[in-house]
Chains A and B, each alone.
Chain A
Amino acid sequence: MIETVQLKKQFKEVQALSGLSFQANDGQITGLLGPNGAGKTTCLRIIYGLLQADAGQALIAGIDASQKPLAARQEIGIFPDKFGLYERLTVREQVQYFACLQGLSLNQAEQATQQVIDELDMQALADRRSAGFSQGQRMKVALAQAIVHRPGHLILDEPSRGLDVMSTRILRGLLRELKQQGTCILFSSHVMQEVAALCDNVVVMANGQVAAQGTPEQLCQLTGEAALEDAFVKIIGSDEGIAA
């Protein structure tokens, strides 16, 4: 379970988060939905402990990453906002490196790497160096790095950007399967269809706060709109009515 309690964060004059509280449960996919600049990336970075909150707490399985960063990071797999690949390493070497960093033994890491390569259907790429990969191929590698150690929690920052239809399907299938296995999945997005198709729970963010929270259906009901997109616009545009 991932939980944030009254998170606040300020960068110079910009108040990125102003009291953000939400909860993402195990075995569920929680979508963090918000316009650009709503503070999604900041929130995720605080959860895995690369940024320090000015106030409030972020807990992963009850562990505060600002107190015990290593313990917290062992619980999660991360798909960051910006990711770069080591272009001189093959996909296999790369994924295995992060498996080892997660504490797997060399043997385990080899097995886990092979497994995740099969799962993501990357056999053809596995022993190629990642220089010259397409955006979709790079995303897959990043995804493989994130889940190779079978984390109980998965945090993804806009995972579907740049993916073609087939890759998006693989991603969705993978997330659903991980959800079945009881993984707590938190992902940020501003793509409505994505959220509507995948999420059990949607947290709508605006101005560093939770503007609304619920299943896609609940959000539609709340706003009286049929489509999530319209509901989203309504929530963001007139947050007074919703927040009350």
Chain B
Amino acid sequence: MSRAIVTVWKKEMRDAMRDRRSFMAAMGYAFFGPILMAIAFFFLIEQLSDRSAVAIDIEGAESAPNFAQFLTSQDIIQRQQAWPQGQQPITLSIPETWQSAMADGESVEVILRADFSAQKQRSDIERVQRAVQAYSTQVASMRLLMRGIEPQLVSPLTLQKQDLATAGSRAAMIMGSVLVFIILSVFWSGMNVAIDISAGERERHSLEFLLAQPLSSQALVWGKALTASTFALFGALLSLTIIPIVFSFVPLAQIGISMTLTAPMLLSMFLQLIPLALLATALQLFVSFRAKNFKEAQTYISFLLMVPMLAVFGVEFARIKSTVLAYLPLTGQHQAFLSLIRGEALNTVGVLVSALLTLVLSVGLLSYIGRMLKSEKTVFGL
């Protein structure tokens, strides 16, 4: 039996490698998927970290041109249009004494008038405050320097503020889609091969002759399943290699996401994808051996692609938190990947059980397909 499996596997591999469509399907997903994703995230981040100018009323700007220029450089500008109904104006008043006070090295009183309890204007007010503060620090440094004093002396502490307010949910979204992408890679990459060696075999009328050879239909199915799985895993390997490279160019840190995919993590993911690849192929073969031709199989299989997507996204959006998920095929791998990427400890038992269940399910499905191929109804479509 094992010799027959190897014979079938070798032949199907050679056949599939020469099929440009199958090959491109496997490669294209792994290559262009991460790049497209990275571009999408790039724009998302750009948008998130984009700060539009704050327009406020600035009184007496003409007496402090340097200060006004500094404010403009901080995107704080003179308001041209009227304040909307129900919003208190934010006004920054610069006194006429600015020039002389500055020249004498005195303190200048700049007045910021606003409704400090207004939620909506809070970040605008804060930005104005920060800008004033920053200018003040700048001038102070200059004054100290002129007197021969190191400005750092008066600022023994530097506080680095990083805003994480909304990043958490976005991080989850970005991580989630990366994980789904990785999991889908085993479903996607072997798909074309799976169709070609099952429905395709029927379509080009080679199935009858093949089944009339002295090899068990189990061996035949296994040889074919291993071929498609090889492609699936190849796609997964490619995705796992390319994703860290591509994402190193995406400034995820700007929105407070740190995604570090270390080599051991990637290896662990790959190992967990092995049984999943077999399951994906078994499902695809099951569906497309029942189809009459390539087209029909493609239609069914695109529905099949929804299964992993629904399972993974469904769990994520419905916020189902059941421990069972860690032990089931598909969701088990997903949960494990989530833990890996969050840097949590891996639920080893969960990983093993879900891998085992995935394997058992695949083997069961494959042996059912083997039996199916003995039935004249399936073979001749009676």
Interface residues of A, Cβ cutoff 8 Å to B: 11, 45, 48-52, 69-71, 73-74, 78, 80-89, 93, 97-98, 100-103, 142, 145
Contact = CB atoms under 8 A, between A and B. Distances in A.
Contacts of B214: 69-71, 73-74, 101-103
Given A71-B214, A89-B15, A100-B7, 8 more contacts: A45-B208, A50-B376, A51-B376, A80-B208, A81-B208, A83-B208, A89-B11, A97-B11
A70 B216 CA distance: 7
B362 to A, nearest CB: 24
A83 to B, nearest CB: 6
A78 B211 CA distance: 11
A53 B11 CA distance: 32
B370 to A, nearest CB: 13
A204 to B, nearest CB: 25
A50 B212 contact: yes
The 9 A-B residue pairs whose C-beta atoms are closest, nearest first, are A84-B204, A84-B205, A84-B206, A73-B214, A82-B205, A88-B18, A74-B214, A101-B213, A100-B7
Contacts of A48: 212
B205 A83 contact: yes
A93 B14 contact: yes
Nearest to A78: B212
A101 B208 contact: no
B19 A88 contact: yes
Interface string B353-382: 000000000000000000000001001101
Interface in B61-91: none
Contacts of B210: 101
Nearest to A94: B11
B134 interface: no
Contact of B212 (A52, A80, A84, A97): A80
Contacts of A98: 209, 213
Contact of A86 (B8, B15, B208): B15
B206 A50 contact: no
A76 to B, nearest CB: 8
5 contacts: A49-B212, A73-B213, A85-B204, A86-B11, A101-B7
A81 B206 CA distance: 11
Contacts of A51: 376, 380
Contacts of A83: 205-206, 208-209
Interface residues of B, number: 26
A73 B209 CA distance: 11
Interface string B208-228: 111111111000000000000
A81 B212 CA distance: 12
A40 to B, nearest CB: 15
B14 A89 contact: yes
Contacts of B18: 88-89
Nearest to B22: A88
A45 B376 CA distance: 10
B63 to A, nearest CB: 82
B4 interface: yes
Contacts of B206: 83-86
A50 B213 CA distance: 10
Which of B11, B204, B205 has most A Cβ within 10 Å? B11
Nearest to A49: B212
Given A11-B382, A89-B15, A101-B4, A80 B209 contact: yes
A93 B17 CA distance: 14
A82 B206 CA distance: 8
B189 to A, nearest CB: 19
Nearest to B8: A101
Contacts of B209: 78, 80, 83-84, 98, 142, 145
Given A83-B206, A86-B15, A89-B15, A50 B4 contact: no
B7 to A, nearest CB: 5
Contacts of A100: 7
Nearest to A88: B18
B213 A88 contact: no
Contacts of A84: 201, 203-206, 209
A97 B208 contact: no
